[in-house]
Amino acid sequence: MTTDVRDILDLETPAPELTKEAILGTTADKLKKKLSLSQPTPKSSRRPEGMHREVFALLYTDSKDAPPLFQTDTGSGYKQMKAKLGMRKVRPWKWMPFTNPARKDGAVFHHWRRLADEGNEYPFAKFNKQVPIPNYTDSEYLQHLHSEFWTRSETDHLFDLCRRFDLRFGVVKDRWDTGKFPERTIEDLKERYYSICGSLTKARAGSGSPESKVFIFDADHERRRKEQLRRLYDRTPEQIEEEQSLLNELRKIEARKKERDKKTQDLQKLITAADSQSDPRKQEKKFPKKKLQHQTRPRIDTNALEMAGIKFPDTKTTGVTVRSQRMKLPSSLGNKKTKVIEQLSQDLGIEVNPIPTEQVCQHYNELRSDMVLLHELKIALSTCEFELQTLRHQFEAFAPGKTLTIPSTLLGESQGGADSSSSLSKQKTGSSEIIDVVGSPGAPTNN
């Protein structure tokens, strides 16, 4: 036990104590030494570093026995199953004949059954279900079942086959007597049979009895369905490949349409925010006249520009705060829009970190919000131009020899950045032209 603990903890075994018997030895020790000299003792090997003790015990033993190659069944397991043999007699079985009630020819078969079940009914006779086939009289046929396309002999032959083969219309079609009667399809046979059943059900239903369900067979639908299946089965590998490619293109078109619809909704929000910002009447309603006299620039409605520009966090907290925190961009803005703001600020020569006074913080945040709005409007404008060019190419493809000229008022100039403050005002005043173009359904993605 102690050796296992020391092996687990990787402790060295202590040296044996020095005693008189250990130094001088005893007669038993001398005999053991003589035996050990005659029989070589195996050398104990040390467990490799990093190997678990359980794994090493499976690979190596002190007697250097070979590891087992496969599991041996010695019969000394934890649980040994025993056969439960009773002293009762086995129930006798007998080879006896039986008949199936479903057969009308009186055929006799034989099988093994218990002697106690002799004389009982065949156990599988309960599954012998027979479909009730209606009968009709001459008067009923003349009044309700007469048809211009079917004769009386054909109808009788059809019902006789249905009774014989339990409405298995595939077998009925195969056993149809083509020598006496014209060729009929399975749909024709089904349509005639179910129409007669429905007519008899309606004719025999009394005025006071509840209406029973009438099955209506749609033969035209069944013919179209089989024709579609036949065409689908007769496709060539080239047609299958073409259909697969068309399905892939359809999925791509639907994905692009969803993306265009999403961008159109975002653009509508941006344009609505820009209109509310540029309309001075709405600004006058929100602010008193006394405050408008002292302000050189109307304040931006942050609620309207929540989806369009930048929504700066509210710093109205208790305690002392630094005013420069108001100019800090929110973390939800994204790296792409942050880089756009840095590039436009560098092109316009605007300082990245201006002195954070009250007016500077307000106007600087409004300017960066306008930069983001300008960037979104430029993307929307390029998307609309791409859509117009696509429609022009489609028109020229469907109408060869004709050209479609797009008015210059619908085409804008897509530039990578703003060169001066005048370019900002031009893009804002051109937003009214973008509204008419965006009104068309969808716009392609600008990837």
- Report helix, strand or coil for 118: coil
Cite the beta strand spans of 79-138 per DSSP E: 93-99, 108-114
- Report helix, strand or coil for 287: coil
Cα 269 from Cα 176, distance rounded (Å): 72
Q: 180 to each of 72, 106, 161, 189, how far by Cα in Å? A: 77, 32, 15, 16
Nearest CA-CA partner of 388 in 437, 428, 331? 437
CA 45 to chain centre: 58
Nearest CA-CA partner of 57 in 14, 8, 11? 8
Q: 23 to each of 15, 16, 19, 36, how far by Cα in Å? A: 14, 11, 6, 18
Query: Any idea of the CA torsion for 187, 188, 194, 200, to the nearest 10 degrees?
Result: 180
Query: Encoding tokens for residue 314?
Result: 């509210």
What count of Cα atoms within 13 Å lies in the side-chain half-sphere of residue 179?
Answer: 1
Cα 9 from Cα 123, distance rounded (Å): 72
Query: Encoding tokens for residue 19?
Result: 């005693």
Query: Encoding tokens for residue 246?
Result: 């068309």
Nearest CA-CA partner of 134 in 57, 62, 212? 212
Its pTM stands at 0.38
Amino acid at residue number 417: G
Q: What is the pLDDT along the chain (447 residues), one digit of tens a residue?
A: 566 666 666 666 565 566 666 666 565 566 666 655 555 555 566 778 888 888 877 776 666 666 566 555 555 555 666 777 777 888 899 999 999 888 888 899 999 999 999 888 888 988 988 888 999 999 999 988 888 999 999 999 999 999 999 899 999 999 999 999 999 999 999 999 999 999 998 888 865 556 678 888 999 999 999 999 999 999 999 999 999 999 999 999 999 999 999 998 888 888 888 877 766 555 555 544 444 444 443 443 444 434 557 777 666 666 667 777 777 787 777 788 888 888 888 888 888 788 878 888 888 888 888 888 888 888 888 888 888 888 888 888 888 877 777 777 766 554 433 343 444 344 444 433 333 333 333 444 443
Cα 239 from Cα 431, distance rounded (Å): 48
Cα 221 from Cα 217, distance rounded (Å): 9
